[in-house]
Chain A
Amino acid sequence: MKIHEYQAKALLSEFGIPVPKGAVASTPAEARKIAAELGGKVAIKAQVYAGGRGKAGGIKIANSPEEAEKLAARMLGTRLVTHQTTPEGVPVSKVLMEKAVNVQRELYLSIIVATASRMPVMMASEAGGMDIEEVARISPEKILLEYIDRSTGFQTFQGRKLSYGMNLSPDQIRPATSLMANLYKLFQAKDCSLAEINPLVVTTEGEIIALDAKLNFDDNALFRHRDVEQLHDVEQEDPLEVKANNLGVKNYIKMDGNIGCMVNGAGLAMAVMDLITQAGGSPANFLDIGTVNNTDRVVAAFKVFTTDPSVKAILVNIFGGIARVDVIALGIVEAHQQMDIRLPLVVRLAGTNVDEGKSILAASGIKFIEATSFDDAARKAVAAAKGDIN
């Protein structure tokens, strides 16, 4: 789960990490008021779940409260399109107003759990302010790593290694080390999947401040962090994904094609998308329907398909293991009774209770195209979406 920069900075601050003075504004008038209180030059930063804001016009500097109001008015209520968003962009409902700092150096600091070593790892680099993947590609030697042992936690010597490694001055070593230790504390305490400060800046006054902040959280651990879960801003997510989630259809991801897919199992769902693409089509979504014990989720998935204007055909591919094929079939029938579904439907059923499932569909009188195999299903769905068969 992602949160906004202003929320991430509040958490950093709570854990003793210095951030610029600032506050969040939802209206131009608020922006003006905050700018006046901060005094001098202020940065206005669009609060969206996407990187690349600077280049996309989502970060501006104002020299006066009036200018701040004007610039905030231009951002608020619009949609920001960056290289990380869809062409429609993401809505800007809040801007973070911050006192501008005098930047001397831009550094990079982050923590993730390294899957290969199964340990948290802190990454630090002198090359801050740019995409770390880019740094890794161009000058990997500039990325310093410290693996963190669970039993000892982040140690001071590791902070010194990273701090000296980034060529910090002697009086900056101690504050940098304590900042790193605090970031690890936050990472652990809140079950983060990513804690990234980019850039971490050294000001001309010699202070070390988190100028930007990105915190992502382990979805599986949210049950023990209700405070964090509340921070989630559904406005930033795709409306169809939000709708699906509200209807109890988890694991739905909107894609840009026109074949609505219902599959059981994540790997199989990805494989079906791959097959559709190989057959010359394009999936409208990824959906792992999961273990279905009643028809509700199947009906809900059809609701999502019929809401999505890009869907031209529906493909149901179920290999019953834990999921029972007969329940899926009942769900398909129920969905057609509840809704006026005119989209061509391709169905491929296999596995547990497949014969029951097939007879339920046959007896229902619903019009559908039966597929005999996995790739047959993909080919028929592609043809159906093109209007070649129905």
Chain B
Amino acid sequence: MSILIDKKTRLLVQGITGGEGSFHTQRCIEYGTKVVAGVTPGKGGSQILGVPIFNTVESAVEKTGANASMIFVPAAFAADAILEAVDAGLPLVVCITEGIPVSDMVMVHDYLEGKPTRLIGPNCPGLISPGKCKAGLMAGEIHLSGNIGVVSRSGTLTYETVAQLTGLGIGQSTCVGIGGDPLPGTTFVDILKLFQKDRETKAVVLIGEIGGTAEQEAAEFIKKKMTKSVVAFVAGATAPPGRRMGHAGAIISGSSGRAQDKIAALATAGATISPSPAKIGLTVQKVMKKWNAAP
């Protein structure tokens, strides 16, 4: 098993004809993802990379049975694209687009309320269930199928972590990039819940960063509900306050959002903290050895 995406995923790509959209669609197809439809208004009826293009998400879903969408639509129009995917009833929407205004995301969250769609992102690298399905930007070949769930606010730091894990022969069940925005569709807690339920996932790596309180909320969940081991790293211990560190959500405001507080909360909740971003793989290995040593 895995979470959110697997061999049954039938992916639709919104913004498939754009530069990034077509580039990454091709790489997803090469990885083995079933990309069944693309949506670009005005280009319906044509094809790209052998994938049929539709004018609307609704018609694409109707004709192809797509059950997930990956969005590459430019920031100014991305909220509309998300709403269209939600309206079409897709259970999973992955929004890669960076730079969506916060007020647009407030509207998106209002619209999502009570609907069956799970939104991953925006401003995220997407997700991968190694060996099964890739709906994102990550290089597929660094992954290995296995039992560690990975959830992260950062794209490249996730690649770094996955490379460490794979290098040690430790495979992953699903790796989810929830994105670097202040109002993500899916939070650490949402993904931790799914990993906790997933039979294939034996332990979880959580990669946080400065800004907001998502890690503290994750800590609360780990303490109360999580029986699986969690290894955590939080980036930005040396980031200055008041500055936005690349990601829209990565900012220490006043005394809140500091890495130190997040690390303390996660440690108190029972997560094993990786002392360095270069030692996340080794920390997971140690945690696994402990289980094997246990009677």
Bound: A273/B102 CA distance, A = 28
Residues of B107-162 whose CB lies within 8 A of A: 107, 109-110, 125, 137-139, 142, 152-160
* Residue A193, interface by CB 8 Å: yes
Known: A193-B102, A218-B101, A220-B101. A270 touches B159 (CB 8 A): no
Is A274 within 8 A of B235, CB to CB? yes
Is A269 within 8 A of B277, CB to CB? no
Which residues of chain B come closer than 8 Å to A113, judged between CB atoms? 102-103, 106, 182-183
Residues of B172-210 whose CB lies within 8 A of A: 180, 182-183, 207, 209-210
Residues of B271-292 whose CB lies within 8 A of A: 276-279
* Residue A352, interface by CB 8 Å: yes
Is B159 within 8 A of A321, CB to CB? yes
Is B156 within 8 A of A274, CB to CB? no
Is B153 within 8 A of A267, CB to CB? yes
Is A352 within 8 A of B139, CB to CB? yes
Bound: A350/B164 CA distance, A = 12
Which residues of chain A come closer than 8 Å to B155, judged between CB atoms? 265, 267, 321
* Residue B238, interface by CB 8 Å: yes
Known: A221-B101, A266-B250, A267-B157. A150 touches B278 (CB 8 A): no
Residue of B nearest to A290 (CB): B246
Is A271 within 8 A of B277, CB to CB? yes
Q: Which of A27-35, A101-109, A115-123, A205-213 contacts B (4 or more CB under 8 A)?
A: A115-123
Give chain A nearest CB distance to B61 CB in angstroms.
Answer: 27
* Residue A151, interface by CB 8 Å: yes
Is B180 within 8 A of A267, CB to CB? yes
Is A267 within 8 A of B240, CB to CB? no
Bitwise interface map of A from 151 to 189 toward B, beta carbon under 8 Å scored 1, else 0: 100000000000000000000000000000000000010
Which residues of chain A come closer than 8 Å to B246, judged between CB atoms? 251, 265-267, 269-270, 286, 288
Which residues of chain B come closer than 8 Å to A219, judged between CB atoms? 244, 248
* Residue B254, interface by CB 8 Å: yes
* Count class of interface residues, chain A: 35 or more
Give chain B nearest CB distance to A147 CB in angstroms.
Answer: 11
Known: A133-B254, A267-B156, A270-B209. A374 touches B106 (CB 8 A): no
Bound: A270/B233 CA distance, A = 12
Is B240 within 8 A of A275, CB to CB? no
Is B248 within 8 A of A270, CB to CB? no
Bound: A150/B277 CA distance, A = 40
Which residues of chain B come closer than 8 Å to A351, judged between CB atoms? 139, 142, 159, 163
Is A321 within 8 A of B156, CB to CB? yes
* Residue A268, interface by CB 8 Å: yes
Bound: A321/B207 CA distance, A = 18
Which residues of chain B come closer than 8 Å to A150, judged between CB atoms? 106-107, 110
Which residues of chain B come closer than 8 Å to A268, judged between CB atoms? 154, 156-157, 160, 235, 277
* Residue A191, interface by CB 8 Å: yes
* Residue B267, interface by CB 8 Å: no
Which residues of chain A come closer than 8 Å to B142, judged between CB atoms? 351
* Residue A320, interface by CB 8 Å: yes
Bound: A267/B75 CA distance, A = 21
Is A321 within 8 A of B137, CB to CB? yes
Known: A221-B102, A223-B76, A251-B246. A273 touches B238 (CB 8 A): yes
Is A319 within 8 A of B106, CB to CB? no
* Residue A337, interface by CB 8 Å: no
Which residues of chain A come closer than 8 Å to B163, judged between CB atoms? 319, 350-351
* Residue B249, interface by CB 8 Å: yes
* Residue A359, interface by CB 8 Å: no
Which residues of chain B come closer than 8 Å to A374, judged between CB atoms? 160, 277-278
Contacting residue for A321 out of B76, B99, B125, B247, CB 8 A = B125
* Residue A373, interface by CB 8 Å: yes
Bound: A286/B244 CA distance, A = 10
* Residue B245, interface by CB 8 Å: yes
Which residues of chain A come closer than 8 Å to B89, judged between CB atoms? none
Which residues of chain A come closer than 8 Å to B278, judged between CB atoms? 275, 373-375, 378
* Residue A258, interface by CB 8 Å: no
* Residue B44, interface by CB 8 Å: no
Is A151 within 8 A of B110, CB to CB? yes
Which residues of chain B come closer than 8 Å to A115, judged between CB atoms? 182-183, 212-213, 249
Which residues of chain A come closer than 8 Å to B217, judged between CB atoms? 116
Which residues of chain B come closer than 8 Å to A278, judged between CB atoms? 276
* Residue A84, interface by CB 8 Å: yes
Residue of B nearest to A134 (CB): B254
Residue of A nearest to B247 (CB): A266
Give chain A nearest CB distance to B190 CB in angstroms.
Answer: 13
* Residue B243, interface by CB 8 Å: yes
Residue of A nearest to B182 (CB): A115
Is A274 within 8 A of B255, CB to CB? no
Is B239 within 8 A of A270, CB to CB? yes
Which residues of chain B come closer than 8 Å to A151, judged between CB atoms? 110
Bound: A352/B235 CA distance, A = 23
Bound: A288/B154 CA distance, A = 12
Give chain A nearest CB distance to B235 CB in angstroms.
Answer: 4
Is B249 within 8 A of A319, CB to CB? no
Contacting residue for B157 out of A191, A271, A283, A373, CB 8 A = A271
* Residue A264, interface by CB 8 Å: yes
Bound: A255/B241 CA distance, A = 12
Known: A150-B110, A221-B102. A267 touches B242 (CB 8 A): no
Bound: A373/B164 CA distance, A = 10
* Residue A277, interface by CB 8 Å: yes
* Residue B100, interface by CB 8 Å: yes
| B interface residue numbers (CB < 8 A to A) | 20, 24, 75-76, 99-107, 109-110, 125, 137-139, 142, 152-160, 163, 180, 182-183, 207, 209-210, 212-213, 217, 233, 235-240, 242-250, 254-255, 276-279
A-B contact pairs, 11 of them (CB 8 A): A115-B249, A133-B254, A266-B245, A267-B153, A270-B235, A270-B250, A271-B157, A286-B239, A322-B20, A374-B277, A375-B278
Known: A220-B102, A266-B245. 7 other contacts (CB 8 A): A119-B106, A133-B254, A267-B157, A267-B207, A271-B160, A277-B238, A375-B276
